[in-house]
């Protein structure tokens, strides 16, 4: 499985090097979903510019939020099965605290 390296911003404003564990198939799926969401956002903007009835705009926003939640679920599953598992096996128990903060952030939305 091909891994990509990225500089990520941690919750504490620090950068660290981390690797994702997503296969090319999963990455393609995520990018496809995000492209669709990007289109939904442009559509919402257009609805607002056209003075579309508020309830219709809110329904589109709800659908977009649901689509983003689906992306987050896919990423969370990969994170648990890949990143978190690897770090636990390496004895890095602090990953559990990081995971709890991440889940709390997701649940606020």
Collapsing DSSP states into helix, strand and coil, what is residue 6? Answer: strand
pLDDT of residue 21: 75
Q: What is the pLDDT of residue 22?
A: 84
Task: Read off the pLDDT of each residue in 24-47 and give the average, rounded to a whole number.
Answer: 97
Does pLDDT of 3 surpass 70? no
Across the range 43-65, mean pLDDT stands at: 98
- Among 4-13, 52-61, 90-99, the range scoring the smallest mean pLDDT is 4-13
According to the CATH classification, is domain 24-108 in 1.20.58.1000?
Answer: yes
Provide φ and ψ at 68, rounded to 5°: -65, -40
Rounded CA gap, 27 and 34, in Å?
10
Q: Over the chain, what is the mean pLDDT?
A: 87
Quick one: what percent of the chain has pLDDT higher than 70? 82
- DSSP, collapsed to helix, strand or coil, labels residue 5 as strand
pLDDT at 6 over 80: no
pLDDT score at 105? 93
pLDDT band at 4 (very low <50, low <70, confident <90, very high): very low
């Amino acid at each position: 499985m091909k891994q990509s390296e990225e500089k990520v911003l941690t919750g504490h404003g620090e950068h660290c090097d981390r690797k994702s564990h997503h296969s090319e198939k999963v990455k393609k799926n995520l990018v496809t979903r995000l492209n669709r969401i990007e289109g939904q956002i442009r559509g919402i903007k257009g609805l607002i510019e056209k003075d579309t009835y508020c309830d219709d705009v809110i329904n589109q926003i709800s659908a977009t939020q649901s689509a983003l939640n689906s992306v987050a679920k896919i990423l969370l599953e990969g994170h648990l099965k890949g990143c978190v598992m690897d770090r636990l096996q390496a004895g890095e128990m602090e990953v559990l605290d990081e995971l709890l903060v991440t889940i709390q952030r997701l649940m606020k939305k």
